C-alpha cells in the first residue's frame, strides 16, 4: 500500500488552474493513492484523471459518471445518519490505512459556498487528532 494520498474534494477548480492540478496528479500517481471524494470525481472526469478510490455517500455524482471509472474501488457510506463530510470520510479511510501524508485539492471554495469552506477548514483542524 502506498503511504501518500491525493484527495480531490467536491470543490472549486478554476479553469485557469487546471494545468496545476493535472501536474500535481501526474506527479502524485506514482507514489500516492488518488482519491475522489464524491463530487470530486467530476474534476477527474473532465480532466481524464483516474482515481484509485471513490469515497462518499455519492449524493453529488450520478451512476453514469461512476461507471466511467471501472478501475476505481468504490467505498460508499449511506447518507442516512451520516455525520461526516465526504472529505472527512476520505481522510478517515487514509488514517485507517496508515496514510498520513495527504494533500487535499478543491478545499477552498471560491464560489462562496461558505458552509463547504468552513467545513473544510474545521476538517483540517481535526486532522491532528487522527
pLDDT at 119 over 80: no
What percent of the chain is predicted at pLDDT more than 70?
80
CA distances from 57 to 21, 61, 77, 98 (A): 24, 9, 5, 22
Cα 29 off chain centre by: 14
Res 83: pLDDT: 78
Classify residue 77 as left (phi > 0), alpha (psi -120 to 50) or beta: beta
How buried is 51 (Cβ within 10 angstroms: 0-12 exposed, 13-18 middle, 19+ buried)? buried
Q: Model confidence at 107, in pLDDT bands (50, 70, 90)?
A: confident
Better-scored residue on pLDDT, 6 or 120: 6
pLDDT at 50 over 90: yes
Given a cut of 80, whether residue 118 has pLDDT beyond it is: no
Amino acid at each position: 500500500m502506498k503511504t501518500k494520498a491525493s484527495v480531490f474534494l467536491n470543490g472549486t477548480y478554476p479553469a485557469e488552474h487546471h494545468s496545476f492540478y493535472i501536474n500535481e496528479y501526474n506527479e502524485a500517481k506514482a507514489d500516492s493513492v488518488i482519491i475522489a471524494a464524491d463530487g470530486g470525481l467530476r474534476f477527474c472526469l473532465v480532466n481524464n484523471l483516474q482515481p484509485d478510490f471513490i469515497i462518499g455517500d455519492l449524493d453529488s455524482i450520478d451512476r453514469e459518471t461512476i461507471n466511467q471509472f471501472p478501475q476505481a474501488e468504490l467505498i460508499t457510506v449511506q447518507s442516512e445518519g451520516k455525520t461526516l463530510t465526504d472529505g472527512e470520510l476520505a481522510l478517515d479511510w487514509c488514517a485507517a490505512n496508515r496514510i498520513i501524508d495527504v494533500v487535499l485539492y478543491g478545499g477552498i471554495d471560491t464560489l462562496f459556498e461558505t458552509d463547504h469552506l468552513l467545513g473544510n477548514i474545521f476538517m483540517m483542524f481535526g486532522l491532528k487528532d487522527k
